[in-house]
Chain A
Amino acid sequence: MTSIFPLTLSNGAFITASLILGFFFGFFLERAGFSSAKKLTAQFYFRDWGVLKVMFSAIVVAMLGLAWGSLTGAIDMGQVYIPDAYLWPQILGGLLLGSGFILGGYCPGTSVVAAATGKLDGLFFVLGIFAGIFGYGMIEPAIHQFNLSGSLGPLTLQQLFHTSAGVVAFCVAAVAVGAFWAAEQSEGPWQLFKKTYGRSE
């Protein structure tokens, strides 16, 4: 059975598709409220679970779609890009990105949407990213060895745990639903607390 997806596109179709997909990406990020640094950072103060809820529901939807498509043979997962794992730089990079997130209020994608809706702090964050990436590119040769450490290739969770993609997908979906439930539980008490003791802004 030959797979239909991923598609092979001409340059013109590729550019058009990229623009349209980007449009919807930006649109839904803004609709989720991710153009607001205050809403995004409220996640880290346990006051708004939007980041977790949006991110995990998106992951679960795309994951189940891919799992289903690959099972029916519509998608050739061999042609879908799976990031290479470099354990140590990815953990350190994650710690840096998380620190930048709580300091600057955004992550790279959301800062673009913030700037697009007129947020000056979003614009400064975007400028900061350019500066950071430029600086990183310049010093990268010096830390190149570290950057390749913990290399595991395009490792997936199913390979790591020696099980099938279906089982992992099922577990991730179950964990996500559990996290949603916990998030819903924790938002209630906070609203009550804020109503009782919160200062008006």
Chain B
Amino acid sequence: MTTDAPLNFEAMSQRMIKKHHVAIILLHWFNAITWLMELTTGAALIVSPNYRFMPVWFVEMITEVFGSRGNLLRFHIAAGLLWVTVFAVYGIFGWRTYLHREVLEREVALDRDDLQWLRIRVLSILGRSNEPLPPQGVYNAGQKMFALMVYAMLPIIMVTGLIMAFHWGSAAVVGWAVVVHFATVAVVVSGLMVHVYMGAVFPEEKPAFFSMLTGMVPELFAYKHHHKWWLEVKAMESTPAQPAAPTESTLSRWLHMKEYWPAYWAGLGLGLTLLATFLIIGQGLGASGGFTRYLAFTLSLIAPQYAATHPYWGNYVQPGQPVLMDFLVFELIGVVIGGFVSGWLAGRFKISTDHGPRITPRTRWALAFAGGAISGVGARMARGCTSGLALSGGAVLSAGAFAFMLAVFAAGFLGAYFLRKVWL
């Protein structure tokens, strides 16, 4: 090691360097809480005398807390599914960041130093060796071993859990899934005991525990316990300073972003809004139903008698029920405001016409009017549009919604060929 100035250990014990990203910290504690709940409820679910390992009073107490064994099982499955979903999202969206080869080689794979470290560590615990420990990377060999074991076991726990929860396969398959689920969890728990002991009890590793709360470790701890990582950090610090980071807050940056949001983030926002609508209102989002009510309302003002007795409009104009007292009517007002605010914040509000290069704005307006009219007819015939039927119906797995969705895309792709001069 070459250093220009002698190391100041006092200062190094004070100075904190960043080890964990906040997303990893949140994932860690979500995982920890879920494991605690799943182990508790899972242990209480094992009542067969051949396999039960917790005392009867424990099983009875936990079952009592949840009211019944059925509720206990439902909770275990629900928490497990949430856990699988969170990890699936992490795997799908994070694999480029966290799970590619370079990261795995650095953070999980054991190198020559690691094997040496394991040998000396075991011997020194047994009092058979006082050789110095080889330098370690960002995670030490013990941590890597635990990670490897968890990576191997997690998919098995997830798949066997899903098989049990949904009874995928014959009774024999489900029976084997129970045994494998139990065995793989037991393997992880054996590693977990060491992990929790090291993190929560072992005095030398205290900074590692706190780093899972604050994301930071003292530089001295990195120097002593993760020397190779410390060298990397030092090398990075000595390279020329990066251009100053934007001082704007993340929220403000996302609100004023000139580009459209990445599709999946907009989709996540839309999905959560849709979910909230189901929870609060009991139906999904929509658009064309609101238009229909506005028309029915106008008609009821102009010709009340006609509207009330008409076989179609009469469905909306009924005595004692205000035509406009409907979710979609107010929702549409919100859509106008929300769309305007979003466009305004991003600097996209502009009086303009979106048209293909080969047609004039005037042609475009005529086509838009015609397209709107055809869509209006289609939406009412199908009893919903892309939002009201395809999106909202799709989320509640309505068969009609999926048939409608296929028809929309089929007509869109087919029509696109004939209308290519309008758009391209």
Contacts of B92 in A (CB 8 A): 177
Beta-carbon contact of B385 and A118 below 8 Å:
no
Whether B245 is near chain A, meaning CB under 8 Å from some CB there, is: no
Contact A152-B400, Cβ < 8 Å, known A26-B338, A93-B379, A131-B376: yes
Beta-carbon contact of A6 and B279 below 8 Å:
yes
Contact A58-B343, Cβ < 8 Å, known A35-B348, A104-B368, A124-B365: no
Whether B274 is near chain A, meaning CB under 8 Å from some CB there, is: yes
Interface string of A97-136 (1 = CB under 8 A from B): 1111111111111111111111111101111111111111
Beta-carbon contact of A25 and B334 below 8 Å:
yes
A38→B81 CA distance, assembly (Å): 39
Contact A65-B400, Cβ < 8 Å, known A103-B370, A137-B312: no
Interface string of B272-283 (1 = CB under 8 A from A): 111111111111
Q: Closest chain B residue to A96 by CB distance? A: B378
Whether B236 is near chain A, meaning CB under 8 Å from some CB there, is: no
Sort chain B's interface into a size bin: 35 or more
Whether A59 is near chain B, meaning CB under 8 Å from some CB there, is: yes
A101→B413 CA distance, assembly (Å): 10
Contacts of A135 in B (CB 8 A): 373, 376-377
Contacts of A118 in B (CB 8 A): 343, 349-352
Whether A61 is near chain B, meaning CB under 8 Å from some CB there, is: yes
A132→B196 CA distance, assembly (Å): 66
Scan residues 57-75 of chain A and give those whose CB is less than 8 A from a CB of chain B: 57-69, 71-73, 75
Chain B's nearest CB lies how many Å from the CB of A65? 4
Beta-carbon contact of B349 and A80 below 8 Å:
no
Chain A's nearest CB lies how many Å from the CB of B94? 14
Whether A45 is near chain B, meaning CB under 8 Å from some CB there, is: yes
Contacts of A29 in B (CB 8 A): 266, 270, 335, 338-339
Contact A50-B263, Cβ < 8 Å, known A62-B271, A112-B339, A137-B292: yes
Scan residues 32-78 of chain A and give those whose CB is less than 8 A from a CB of chain B: 32-33, 35-39, 41-45, 49-50, 53-69, 71-73, 75, 77
